[in-house]
């Protein structure tokens, strides 16, 4: 049985991979992160964004309908293309409850001074639960890039 949000909606998630329209500079990523955090916080969506070599992998969770609408809006964003849904479904509880947008640039650009930056992929970080969901997403990300 999936958890319901505070408004009674079913809790859902989705993960997608997309290709950046152009290579993102640190300032581009910082701007994207700031906008994403504000928007996600306003609608109750949490998640994780990964970036490397022109590819994004994003995991979103929150009210199921809102997550779907967020993904539809994201697909129309001209900063990327070829969005490919990797997985979706319902959740019993959030995986990243405090991360309006956890972020990691896997190419090494750090945004530690950016509002909302999360050290979620650093070796010392271990969220509760079965294994580290951020590490599982990083592994998936590398596998998907290798196949692209």
pLDDT of 118: 47
38: left (phi over 0), alpha (psi -120 to 50) or beta: alpha
Q: At what angle do helices 26-43 and 64-75 cross, to 10 degrees?
A: 150
**pTM for the structure as a whole:** 0.73
**Structural domain span for residue 102:** 11-147
Q: Please tell me the distance from the alpha carbon of residue 50 to that of residue 60, in angstroms, as a whole number.
A: 12
The confidence score (pLDDT) of residue 7 equals: 60
- Report helix, strand or coil for 98: coil
Count Cα neighbours of 141 within 13 Å in the Cβ-side half-sphere: 26
Tell me the pLDDT tens digit for each residue of 52-78: 888 998 999 999 999 999 999 999 999
**Within-domain flag for 6:** no
Q: Which residues contact 34 (CB under 8 A, 6 or more apart)?
A: 114, 115, 116
Token readout for 145 is 């890039």
Q: Report the alpha-carbon distance of residue 45 to residue 59 in Å, rounded.
A: 10
**111 part of a folded domain:** yes
Q: Rounded to an integer, what is the distance from CA 6 to the centroid of its chain?
A: 21
What confidence score (pLDDT) does residue 33 get?
87
Give the count of domains, the chain.
1
Would residue 117 count as lying in a domain? yes
Residue 59 placed within a domain: yes
Higher-pLDDT residue of 132 and 141 is 141
Residue 92 lies in a domain: yes
Q: Which of 12-16, 73-77, 121-125 has the lowest mean pLDDT?
A: 121-125
Residue 8's pLDDT is 61
5 falls within a domain: no
Is residue 118 one of the residues assigned to a domain? yes
Residue 100 has pLDDT above 90, yes or no: no
Task: Return the CATH number at 46.
Answer: 3.30.70.100
pLDDT of 113 over the 50 cut: no
């Amino acid at each position: 049985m999936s958890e319901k949000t505070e408004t009674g909606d079913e809790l859902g998630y989705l993960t997608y991979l997309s290709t950046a329209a152009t290579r993102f500079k640190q300032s581009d990523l910082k701007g994207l992160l700031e906008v994403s955090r504000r928007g996600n916080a306003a609608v109750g969506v949490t998640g994780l964004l990964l970036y490397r070599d022109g590819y994004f992998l994003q995991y979103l969770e929150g009210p199921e309908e809102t997550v779907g609408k967020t993904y539809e809006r994201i697909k129309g964003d001209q900063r990327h293309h070829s969005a490919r849904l990797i997985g979706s479904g319902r959740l019993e509880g959030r995986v990243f409850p405090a991360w309006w947008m956890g972020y990691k640039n896997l190419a090494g650009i750090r945004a530690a001074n950016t509002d909302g930056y999360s050290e979620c992929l650093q070796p010392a970080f271990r969220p509760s639960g079965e294994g580290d969901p951020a590490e599982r997403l990083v592994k998936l990300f590398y596998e998907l890039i290798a196949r692209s």
